[in-house]
Amino acid sequence: MDSNALDDFARFPGEGLIKSADEPLGGIQDDRKAALNRKGNELFNQGDIETARRIFVTTGYSDGLTRTGDWYAQKGKLLEALKMYYLAHNRRKADPIIEKLAKLISMTIS
């Protein structure tokens, strides 16, 4: 992405396209968060992606959110993937989706 380009996330003040209910909860004790993340990883590996996603969103576990985003991207669910990458603060994976969506919107309105 062009270094002079607008920061796409910064264009959406506050939560922007992500519901505030999808932001990680604060105040979860570290040991509880670690236990939840382990359970989320276990569920993810068993194929229960949606339950794992809910745990990762609750804890803000960036690796789990990124893997969930990858899973959504493989299924062609780019908006869901983008949401997971956004919550994981993973610009490297989010930027190509943003560019793809921007091109699609540009072609649509041209």
Note the pLDDT tens digit of each residue in 31-45.
Answer: 999 999 999 999 999
SS3 73: helix
Q: Decide which of 9 and 106 is more confident.
A: 106
> Which pLDDT value is given to residue 44?
98
> Which pLDDT value is given to residue 24?
66
pLDDT band at 23 (very low <50, low <70, confident <90, very high): low
> Which pLDDT value is given to residue 19?
47
Q: Decide which of 1 and 84 is more confident.
A: 84
| Of 75, 9, 68, 71, the residue nearest 41 (C-alpha) | 68
Domains of the chain with bracketed CATH: 28-109 (1.25.40.10)
